Amino acid sequence: MTKIVRERARIPRDKTNDYTHKIAADRREFIKEHTGANLSHVAQYSFDPAMVSGNIENFAGVAQVPIGLAGPLHIRGEYAQGDFYVPLATSEGTLVASYNRGMKLLTECGGVKTTIVEEFMQRAPVFICSDATEAREFGHWVVANFETIKQQAEATTRIGKLVNIGQYQVGPLRYLRFNYTTGDAAGQNMTGKATWAACEWIKGAYPGEVKYILSGGVDTDKKHSHLNTLLTRGRRVVAEAVIRKDLLKAQMGVDTRELFFSRQISQAGAFLAGSANNGAHAANGLAALFIATGQDAANVAESHAGINYSQLLENGDYYWSMTLPALIVATYGGGTGLATQKQCLEMLDCYGAGKANKFAEICAATVLAGEISLGCAVLHGDWVTSHERLGRNRP
Amino acid sequence: MTKIVRERARIPRDKTNDYTHKIAADRREFIKEHTGANLSHVAQYSFDPAMVSGNIENFAGVAQVPIGLAGPLHIRGEYAQGDFYVPLATSEGTLVASYNRGMKLLTECGGVKTTIVEEFMQRAPVFICSDATEAREFGHWVVANFETIKQQAEATTRIGKLVNIGQYQVGPLRYLRFNYTTGDAAGQNMTGKATWAACEWIKGAYPGEVKYILSGGVDTDKKHSHLNTLLTRGRRVVAEAVIRKDLLKAQMGVDTRELFFSRQISQAGAFLAGSANNGAHAANGLAALFIATGQDAANVAESHAGINYSQLLENGDYYWSMTLPALIVATYGGGTGLATQKQCLEMLDCYGAGKANKFAEICAATVLAGEISLGCAVLHGDWVTSHERLGRNRP
Amino acid sequence: MTKIVRERARIPRDKTNDYTHKIAADRREFIKEHTGANLSHVAQYSFDPAMVSGNIENFAGVAQVPIGLAGPLHIRGEYAQGDFYVPLATSEGTLVASYNRGMKLLTECGGVKTTIVEEFMQRAPVFICSDATEAREFGHWVVANFETIKQQAEATTRIGKLVNIGQYQVGPLRYLRFNYTTGDAAGQNMTGKATWAACEWIKGAYPGEVKYILSGGVDTDKKHSHLNTLLTRGRRVVAEAVIRKDLLKAQMGVDTRELFFSRQISQAGAFLAGSANNGAHAANGLAALFIATGQDAANVAESHAGINYSQLLENGDYYWSMTLPALIVATYGGGTGLATQKQCLEMLDCYGAGKANKFAEICAATVLAGEISLGCAVLHGDWVTSHERLGRNRP
Amino acid sequence: MTKIVRERARIPRDKTNDYTHKIAADRREFIKEHTGANLSHVAQYSFDPAMVSGNIENFAGVAQVPIGLAGPLHIRGEYAQGDFYVPLATSEGTLVASYNRGMKLLTECGGVKTTIVEEFMQRAPVFICSDATEAREFGHWVVANFETIKQQAEATTRIGKLVNIGQYQVGPLRYLRFNYTTGDAAGQNMTGKATWAACEWIKGAYPGEVKYILSGGVDTDKKHSHLNTLLTRGRRVVAEAVIRKDLLKAQMGVDTRELFFSRQISQAGAFLAGSANNGAHAANGLAALFIATGQDAANVAESHAGINYSQLLENGDYYWSMTLPALIVATYGGGTGLATQKQCLEMLDCYGAGKANKFAEICAATVLAGEISLGCAVLHGDWVTSHERLGRNRP
């Protein structure tokens, strides 16, 4: 029985040079022809298409995402020190305003202290052994040969350093989580390449029969996991601040005691819900900052995880910390060098080599600002009304 | 003891009209002055700033995120039917190419079947009672008064409909999860406003003492939660396809049996890791599609959750389904009406009223394409090499 | 190639009557012969073996588990009211002493308030449909035919009542979670039988092709799950108390403020760990009480889940609640009628019909006593030293 | 306002010797007097009460839990080798029969292969630092001083060995998970004492201000946690078997292909439910074996976690593995030396020093037998009917 499939229209490509104004225009024309959609705004980009080779395929133009500015945010980090103006790319009304008022309060309270606790980017192959005993022995062999494995991995990269290999066994499967530092790059590709080289070496050198798959699902790339929360993916960053009782009352209309009372309730709720974050809305600030600065927005999946830990101090002030266990950022490579993205990183003095830690600290401090603002809005009743006032594009 | 805080430079605002080219330019100039960063590319937007009032505050320009086209993707949904060209805004090299090849395979296998299983947008206040018995009785009262609560909530919106109220108790706390349908809007604000009205009514009408907080942490807004996976947030959408054994081998170089073998391993890995998604990388496709079409990119946090369910069929073909339990999309309101975003929705015939279901189906089908492509790349060894070839912007 | 397997010795059975002293003795003799083990103590049971028909197969004797008494524990429940002496069967030194001192404190603080929030026992079949659309439609059909399904299920039992059916879809699979009340029985078998009858009816009556498996893994029987925590398995019970600041200091040497400080830390720890219980050790009290009273000790898996919610009150007293979302108990059927088990239930006035709610309240109140005792021991430094003093059987 | 509390009756104690027949009888008499319950069966223990000093306080008698025998189960482990008869203490009808038939099948298929992958018992103090930076530095100091910390900890125990210290940071809190091997004891107390000694040393030696709490909630003692599943608590044990297609059909009436089909469904269900175990009912076998052999039954909470990993082999046979990541067992100390418990351990040649690994392997193999039996019963429709036939004590 045969089945005739009609020829489908293929998106235009230019085999000579696929990154030109011409081929981008051809694609927009193709879309107009096949869907009727006019991509006139999509066409309004301000850079040479050659610039996005390596960032995108079948380039046709750009999404223009509005950027708003928040700040100044005073940060007392190890890398980020001083006042920062933060670019947030979003279309959610009130988001910038909300982060902005949180930043104002934090700054007046003396700023945010930030700490990068540790840093790991992963690729996690799985080795498939003949049985569980063999898998365990294989794991011991990996430990014994770590230095050579490290050499093999690091030979593929100038920057990536293999710090250790976490091992997790299920039946005859040995999942190896290769933990690297990757400098100022996010490092997913770097670690993929390095781990592949290491696995190929292992496969040849191991004195037994062993197969592997380069990712066994415990990386866990582009998805939240409890493993990431426990053992870090990207950077584990803490932002801390002491909120003064008088300033909280004056600016947010909320008493610190009331805030702490409600914290007990939201903690119970987060535990009940099985939430990836027992805070409020880290994803909002991170997504906006990621888009503005050329981060991989898909990493919001991992990066939005968070653990809030607070205490009401004896004097009535409120100690607030937010720990982001899987913050994935880059200041080099990926989308960081694109036209607007680079400029937004420069606004933070975070473009290029040696800046990723600084940028990570700014991300965490920004998240904390959003937590405080939304937490107080919910209590004070501003939440709905401010969306009413500022978020007018709703149906 | 006094502490002198120097006056900090405030971001310029225009009290008369804060959405003009002028004030945007002032802000960029302010940034240049205070940080040295030149925002010349950020300035290159092609719309009237008045358009983003309601979407952003302190508007200064735009992020230009490259858009690539993938497709055609053949979809056999209830709302999306036919061939689609999908705009993906990303800076991750290979992403578009990878989704594109998955779409090609799926299309040649007869396309993707899509189903919207259910739809719920939430706001989840918590009511604080005097003790657990009172909280339980309060919950019964809510059940008994559901129709009136529904009226109160729905009086605030033309579109939102309160379907039911989930109730979860911890100690003296009664968390109410208000589940709405919200038409073609994502609905977070709509449901916030409606629930607030309902809560105010409850507070007055309930014949006992009761306090509430408008969000108790079980919404769970802008964060992944197990609750969302179980009980849906946004839309619960399934994409299904039968991958032909011969086509998979021909196009991806992978045998279906091998793919199914590896599926057992990645399922064990995802369970071990406590992952939000036992598939590969839903966040990639969703983030790119969300940015292109004016969705709230922060919702990648919720939307990237997924459950893969597959079977190897008797004839060697491969049945593959991906269920997205918390896909949050809109075709109306929010960022959907912005310049480039609207055009990208139009490319899919998904702009405006009556299109959200269709767009949700396209999202799910796109995710499935990416799953198949990456799953095969990992097995076939293309994964690292294709990033080497296509993703050249890495350090 | 043949393989000769030697004949293996089979455990003796008596086809006429398998529940006699004789056959039990034969089995012990068989064990002695084949393993050398003398089961003289195992032989020391005080009941007629006929009594355990329906509770065990291949009966050979008993485990003698030491019972200690704790109490009095004052409870102000809806079913349990007054002072109780609680039998705890355990071999962990200090356990009884620890619960006992918690009970003393609680009792002097006015006792424990207990509330049964809701009650559900489940069987959760999965229906396998041809695709996701069909599965959704099947689900709607189930809703429309609920009354008949309920009749079919309830026709198999005098006691079980089908309250509702939760529905959860993954791909073409529709998991139905049948939620019953089961009176004073735990109800796993009752609900299995009833659900099987309902499923058989559905299979015949549904106007489409549908297959089912009686358990699809979302019951979730004999295992903890987040689903249970959210949606209750067995009984959802809350125990609450206000701990007086002065009494806590006097009896435990701990200040309520210090206790609350540490609560923030253990909550963060439980969230970080992905724990089934953000309290201390509910499993200890429950396992001991379950063994003493003929509960199914395997249900400790589900029952030990818990959510602690506390507040430090204005006057310095400490409000403490423990919610057990999946407490599975019986006072009728199963092991409740066995010789010692029945006597232990009688000690609580909890044997037989109409007592399960009362017993559930005692369980929750007991758990709370253990939480307070251990929580304070950890802070005060008694923890290690009391085990040194009381737990002398360690190596 | 005064409140008169009547004097409550206190459980009798004997300050001279609290472990005698006399004082146990006094307690039973006390209970009879205050509750009316006759504890005549509870009184029927066959050992000297002096034996349970260190295991229980306020001793009053015993719970007699019926023991049934299952087996022979052929095991090909590293420690357990040969045929075993397994004592199961339970009151759940069909449990022994079900495990027994699983053992028969496994034995005829060549037995169960068992592997102990790793072993860790924990105590996890939390150190509270002034801020997150200090906490990180404290963590580095702990790494640098590991050898001394190890000496301090190990000085308190002949048996426990500190293998490593996992570190997890949240805000200014540094949770240290001390991982020990504890020989043939479960080790909770041993590790508590050793860790306390280590912490006291740390507190004195660390050149900064630091406080600690001996348990910060990430141990996670007596409760399931995702942390345990990932990083092991007690022993991580794998049981594997290849089920022959012909024998499965002959004995269970189920085809391996059908079984594998259903495995995909139950895996999806477990992932959906957020279950601690994606198998069937490990808790059943473990609870019964734990009670029979003097294990701490509360550890069913941790021990019941499991990961099933299976493959359908080319020849139609079925590879089945069950990994128990948190199996906590002892053959020395705790309740293992009690009268019946010791005899049951002897039946397995597992009493005393050097036997814990062997016993752990028997536990895992037993669990696997139960998985296969129940899995097939559900598919074949035996499940409800066998409970009807064997479980007659239900209401």
Asked if the Cβ–Cβ distance from D118 to A136 is below 8 Å, we say: yes
pLDDT at D67 over 70: yes
φ/ψ (deg, to 5) at C381:
85, 10
Is the minimum CB–CB distance between C173 and chain B shorter than 8 Å?
yes
pLDDT in tens, D341-375: 999 999 999 999 999 999 999 999 999 999 999 99
pLDDT in tens, A6-64: 578 999 999 999 999 999 999 999 999 999 999 999 999 999 999 999 999 999 999 99
Residue B395: the pLDDT is: 40
Q: Which residue from B298, B187, B132 is spatially nearest to C321, judged by alpha carbons?
A: B132
Asked if the Cβ–Cβ distance from D283 to C223 is below 8 Å, we say: yes
Residue D382 vs residue C233, higher pLDDT:
C233
What residues of chain A lie within 8 A of the CB of C240, using their CB? none
Instruction: For C264-301, give the secondary structure using H, E and C.
Output: HHHHHHHHHHCECECCCCHHHHHHHHHHHHCCCHHHHH
Residue A380 known to be catalytic:
no
B334-357 CB burial, b ≥16 within 10 A, e <16:
bbbbbbbbbbbbbbbbbbeeebbb
CA distance to partner chain D, nearest, from residue C56 (Å): 5
Residue pair C218/C176 in contact (Cβ under 8 Å)? The answer is no
Active-site entry in C18, C92, C108, C137? C92
Is the minimum CB–CB distance between D1 and chain B shorter than 8 Å?
no
Q: What kind and span of H or E run contains D115?
A: strand D112-123
What residues of chain B lie within 8 A of the CB of A275, using their CB? 217, 220, 223-227
Task: Tell me the average pLDDT across A181-204.
Answer: 95
Confidence of residue D395 (pLDDT cuts 50, 70, 90): very low
Asked if the Cβ–Cβ distance from D341 to C218 is below 8 Å, we say: no
What residues of chain A lie within 8 A of the CB of D321, using their CB? 132, 170-172
The pair of three-digit structure tokens given for residue C295, joined into one six-digit string: 């509960």
Residue C7: the pLDDT is: 74
- CB-based contacts of C140: which residues, under 8 Å, 6+ apart? none
Q: From CA D393, how far away is CA A36, in angstroms rounded?
A: 72
CA distance to partner chain A, nearest, from residue D34 (Å): 39
Neighbours of chain A (3+ CB pairs under 8 A): B, C, D
Asked if the Cβ–Cβ distance from D309 to B229 is below 8 Å, we say: no
pLDDT in tens, A60-110: 999 999 999 999 999 999 999 999 999 999 999 999 999 999 999 999 999
pLDDT at D391 over 70: no
Which of A231, A274, A309 has its CB closest to that of D170? A309
What residues of chain A lie within 8 A of the CB of B264, using their CB? none
Residue A391: the pLDDT is: 57
Active-site entry in B18, B26, B92, B349? B92
Residue A395: the pLDDT is: 40
Asked if the Cβ–Cβ distance from B117 to C323 is below 8 Å, we say: no
Q: Which of C16-30, D5-19, D297-311 has the lowest mean pLDDT?
A: D5-19
Residue B385: the pLDDT is: 66
Asked if the Cβ–Cβ distance from C41 to D41 is below 8 Å, we say: no
Residue D175's SS3 state is strand
CA distance to partner chain B, nearest, from residue A372 (Å): 14
The pair of three-digit structure tokens given for residue C181, joined into one six-digit string: 């009340």
Confidence of residue D383 (pLDDT cuts 50, 70, 90): low
Residue A147 known to be catalytic:
no
pLDDT at A393 over 80: no
Neighbours of chain B (3+ CB pairs under 8 A): A, C, D
Residue B281 known to be catalytic:
no
pLDDT in tens, A242-263: 999 999 999 999 999 999 999 9
Asked if the Cβ–Cβ distance from B264 to D309 is below 8 Å, we say: yes
DSSP state of A219: S
Q: From CA D112, how far away is CA D96, in angstroms rounded?
A: 18
Residue B392: the pLDDT is: 46
Active-site entry in D26, D92, D137, D349? D92
Is the minimum CB–CB distance between C266 and chain D shorter than 8 Å?
yes
Report the mean per-residue pLDDT for chain A.
Answer: 95
pLDDT in tens, A287-328: 999 999 999 999 999 999 999 999 999 999 999 999 999 999
What residues of chain C lie within 8 A of the CB of D109, using their CB? none
Active-site entry in D296, D302, D317, D382? D296
Residue pair D310/D263 in contact (Cβ under 8 Å)? The answer is yes
DSSP state of D4: P
Furthest-apart CA pair in chain C: how many Å? 82
pLDDT at A392 over 70: no
pLDDT in tens, B316-364: 999 999 999 999 999 999 999 999 999 999 999 999 999 999 999 999 9
Which of C87, C228, C339 has its CB closest to that of D41? C339
Rounding to the nearest 10 degrees, give the CA dihedral for residues D368, D370, D375, D378: 180
Report the mean per-residue pLDDT for chain B.
Answer: 95
Active-site entry in C296, C302, C317, C382? C296
Task: Tell me the average pLDDT across D175-203.
Answer: 96
* A58 burial type by CB count under 10 A (0-12 exposed, 13-18 middle, 19+ buried): buried
Is the minimum CB–CB distance between C2 and chain D shorter than 8 Å?
no
Residue A252: the pLDDT is: 96
Asked if the Cβ–Cβ distance from D309 to A173 is below 8 Å, we say: yes
Which of D270, D272, D311 has its CB closest to that of B264? D311
Give Cα B104 to chain centroid, integer Å.
24
CA distance to partner chain C, nearest, from residue D70 (Å): 7
Asked if the Cβ–Cβ distance from A274 to C226 is below 8 Å, we say: yes
Confidence of residue B5 (pLDDT cuts 50, 70, 90): very low
Beta-bridge partner residues of A164: A179
Asked if the Cβ–Cβ distance from A113 to D133 is below 8 Å, we say: yes
Residue C384: the pLDDT is: 67
**Do the strands A112-123 and A59-76 form a parallel or antiparallel pair, or are they unpaired?**
parallel
ipTM value, please give it. 0.96
Residue count of chain A, please give it.
395
Active-site entry in A18, A26, A92, A258? A92
Asked if the Cβ–Cβ distance from D270 to B272 is below 8 Å, we say: no
pTM above 0.80, yes or no: yes
Neighbours of chain D (3+ CB pairs under 8 A): A, B, C
pLDDT in tens, B200-243: 999 999 999 899 999 999 999 999 999 999 999 999 999 999 99
Asked if the Cβ–Cβ distance from A271 to C272 is below 8 Å, we say: no
The pair of three-digit structure tokens given for residue D260, joined into one six-digit string: 């594998």
pLDDT in tens, C312-359: 999 999 999 999 999 999 999 999 999 999 999 999 999 999 999 999
Asked if the Cβ–Cβ distance from C323 to B230 is below 8 Å, we say: no
What residues of chain C lie within 8 A of the CB of D288, using their CB? 297-298
Could you give the residue ranges of the DSSP H alpha helices within chain A?
Answer: 21-35, 95-108, 132-144, 146-154, 188-205, 226-231, 245-252, 256-273, 282-293, 300-303, 339-347, 356-380, 382-390
Residues of chain C where predicted confidence (pLDDT) is lower than 70: 1-6, 382-395
Q: Which sign, positive or negative, has the C-alpha torsion C55, C60, C61, C62?
A: negative
Residue B384: the pLDDT is: 67
Asked if the Cβ–Cβ distance from C217 to D266 is below 8 Å, we say: yes
pLDDT at B3 over 90: no
Number of H helices, E strands in chain D: 13, 10
B238, B272, B310, B324: best mutation site toward chain D, by most D Cβ within 10 Å? Answer: B272
Residue A386 vs residue B139, higher pLDDT:
B139
Residue D387: the pLDDT is: 63
Q: Which amino acid is at A387?
A: H
Is the minimum CB–CB distance between D220 and chain C shorter than 8 Å?
yes
**Which residues 30-59 of chain A have a CB within 8 Å of chain B?**
31, 34-42, 44-47, 52-59
What residues of chain A lie within 8 A of the CB of C230, using their CB? 272-274
